[in-house]
């Protein structure tokens, strides 16, 4: 029988966090992307020093079964929404370095999907010609590692078939002299999995 008297004691709370290796810090993470087309990245991958990651929610969609009883019946789960679109995607904010590295690679990525006559990064395709999904999206994987204080991964979440959806406005101002430029983009994905307590997984 559960002893409810001690469930909320300081000692019980301390033991709970001690048994579960403490708290996951929200500023300990690492982001990496692999499987990019060569026209976007010559190495096919890049590690991101992300300032922030806004991880979209999961949601279940329901239908009512119309069985007898009150209202339209029971709510039955029918599908799950995890694909990025607006708030359900991965919004990542990047600090922009002086070589404008993240601006360059993101522009190349967008131009790879829909090149104009001026922005052809893949010379094998003409202007306004879209790439095949199996080439442009299917191989791309993003990994977000949640790290312990020593930099070891507590878990790695792999997002599959990753693609950029949109970017947020770039804000320039002369009103501040001590701020750096930020660049935010939203990414979509097909599916994902979380791998826990496996420091050997690479993305």
Comparing 28-42, 47-61, 145-159, which segment has the lowest mean pLDDT? 47-61
Neighbours of 36 (CB within 10 A): 22
The arithmetic mean of pLDDT across residues 111-133, rounded, is 91
Structure tokens at 150: 């020593």
The rounded distance, in Å, linking the Cα atoms of 94 and 53 is 9
The arithmetic mean of pLDDT across residues 43-68, rounded, is 85
The pLDDT tens digits of the residues spanning 87-117 come to: 568 999 999 999 999 999 999 999 999 899 9
Q: Residues 160, 189: contact at Cβ < 8 Å?
A: yes
User: What pLDDT was estimated at residue 80?
Assistant: 75
User: What pLDDT was estimated at residue 85?
Assistant: 47
User: What pLDDT was estimated at residue 198?
Assistant: 55
Average model confidence (pLDDT) for the chain? Answer: 87
User: What pLDDT was estimated at residue 82?
Assistant: 64
User: What pLDDT was estimated at residue 83?
Assistant: 56
| pLDDT value at 152 more than 70 | yes
Rg (CA), the chain: 22
User: What pLDDT was estimated at residue 124?
Assistant: 86
Tell me which fold the domain 24-196 belongs to: Pnp Oxidase; Chain A (2.30.110)
| pLDDT value at 1 more than 90 | no
The rounded distance, in Å, linking the Cα atoms of 64 and 189 is 29
Three-state SS at 93: strand
Three-state SS at 12: helix
What are the residue boundaries of the structural domains of the chain, listed by start? Answer: 24-196
DSSP assignment string, 141-167: EEEEEEE-TTS-EEEEEEEES-EEEEE
The pLDDT tens digits of the residues spanning 84-95 come to: 444 568 999 999
pLDDT band at 199 (very low <50, low <70, confident <90, very high): very low
The more confidently predicted of residues 1 and 95 is: 95
């Amino acid at each position: 029988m559960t002893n409810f008297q001690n469930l909320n004691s300081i000692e019980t709370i301390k033991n709970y966090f001690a048994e579960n290796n403490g708290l996951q810090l929200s500023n300990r993470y690492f982001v990496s992307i692999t499987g990019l087309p060569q026209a976007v990245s010559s190495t096919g991958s890049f590690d991101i020093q992300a300032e922030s990651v806004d991880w979209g929610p999961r949601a279940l969609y329901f239908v009512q079964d119309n069985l007898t009883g009150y209202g339209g019946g029971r709510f039955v789960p029918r599908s799950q929404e995890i694909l990025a679109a607006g708030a359900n995607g991965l919004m990542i904010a990047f600090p922009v370095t002086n070589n404008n590295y993240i601006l360059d690679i993101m522009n190349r990525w967008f131009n790879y999907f829909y090149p104009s006559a001026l922005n052809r990064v893949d010379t094998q395709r003409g202007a306004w010609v879209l790439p095949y999904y199996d080439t442009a999206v299917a191989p791309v994987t993003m990994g977000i590692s949640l790290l312990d204080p020593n930099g070891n991964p507590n878990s790695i979440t792999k997002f599959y078939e990753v693609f950029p959806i949109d970017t947020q406005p770039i804000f320039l101002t002369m009103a501040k002299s001590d701020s750096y430029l930020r660049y935010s983009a939203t990414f979509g994905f097909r599916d994902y999995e979380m791998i826990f307590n496996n420091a050997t997984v690479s993305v």
